[in-house]
Amino acid sequence: MQADKELDVRGMSCPLPILKTKKSLADMVSGQVLRIISTDVGSMGDIQAFSKQTGHELISAAQEGSEYTFFLRKK
């Protein structure tokens, strides 16, 4: 999947991945896609909850080994 912006939050733990995601989305325009790469085990639930609370579309969420990759479309 093609992303307009990438956010690497590997090695960071809650709440930093969500805070950095929020900041990255603020710099984007509606419809753009943000790719987030995380190693925080809680990020799967956190990103899903963030998406529901904010209305940004969670396009995909995947785990490969110890890394989690998310694609969020800005509302």
Q: Does 17 sit behind a cis peptide bond, omega within 30 degrees of 0 on the bond before it?
A: no
Residues 12-64 have pLDDT tens digits of 999 999 999 999 999 999 999 999 999 999 999 999 999 999 999 999 999 99
Q: Is the pTM of this model over 0.85?
A: yes
Q: How many domains does the chain have?
A: 1
Of 12, 11, 18, 27, nearest in space to 48 by CA:
18
Q: Residue 27 sits in a domain of what CATH number?
A: 3.30.110.40
How far apart, in whole angstroms, are the C-alpha atoms of residue 19 and residue 9? 10
Q: How would you class 14 by CB atoms within 10 Å of its CB: exposed for 0-12, middle for 13-18, buried for 19 or more? A: middle
Domain carrying residue 64: 5-73
- Dihedral of CA atoms 16, 33, 48, 65 in degrees, nearest 10, equals -70
The catalytic position among 3, 5, 12, 14 is 14
Told to judge if 14 belongs to the known catalytic residues of this protein, a careful annotator would answer: yes
